[in-house]
Amino acid sequence: MSSDTPRPGLLQYIAYSYGRTLPPSMRDWVANDLAGKGAGRRMIVRATIPCIILLVPLLFIPTTWDVRASMTLPILIPFVYFAVALSKVYRRHRLSQHGLDPNLVEKLGRERDAHIHRAYEERYGPRNSD
């Protein structure tokens, strides 16, 4: 991503993080944000922040730490689990929402594993597309 690529401002970024679409002039930034290096991690953090904000007040209830943990962790752990499990699904949806190819999510993995696929094709021939 070049330095002259338009980036969203703070309010635009917050709105974008939780569902708004950015203008077409920022598509390169969106593609990098949702399919570039660290995209999965960013999506998981964005998904987890609202849950954490809702759970923090429970930590101020005057009780022992094990009771506080038993109130918050059963909510937080599955929330993070599903954020991790659905990260690619969410990123695909956000890419298509911005008019980009949802298959960009797989771009880094394909580039990283290209040598494995080339070695397979050299050894066994091209795959059938049945």
- Say what the pLDDT of residue 97 is: 94
Single-letter code of the amino acid located at 51:
C
Give the C-alpha separation, 107 to 121, whole Å: 19
Q: Please tell me the predicted confidence (pLDDT) of residue 47.
A: 92
State the pLDDT confidence band at 67, using cuts at 50, 70 and 90: very high
CA 25 to chain centre: 21
Q: What is the pLDDT of residues 19-47, one digit of tens each?
A: 999 999 999 999 999 998 899 999 999 99
Other Cβ atoms closer than 10 A to 11: 9
User: Mean of the pLDDT values across residues 92-115?
Assistant: 88
Torsion of CA 68, 73, 45, 90, to 10 degrees: -140
Predicted confidence at residue 127, as pLDDT, reads 78
Q: Residue 4 carries which DSSP code? A: T
Q: What is the spatial distance between Cα 27 and Cα 101, in angstroms, rounded to a whole number?
A: 11
Per-residue pLDDT for 128 more than 80?
no
Quote the CA–CA distance of 87 and 105 in Å, as a whole number. Answer: 10
Question: Is pLDDT above 60 for 130?
Answer: no
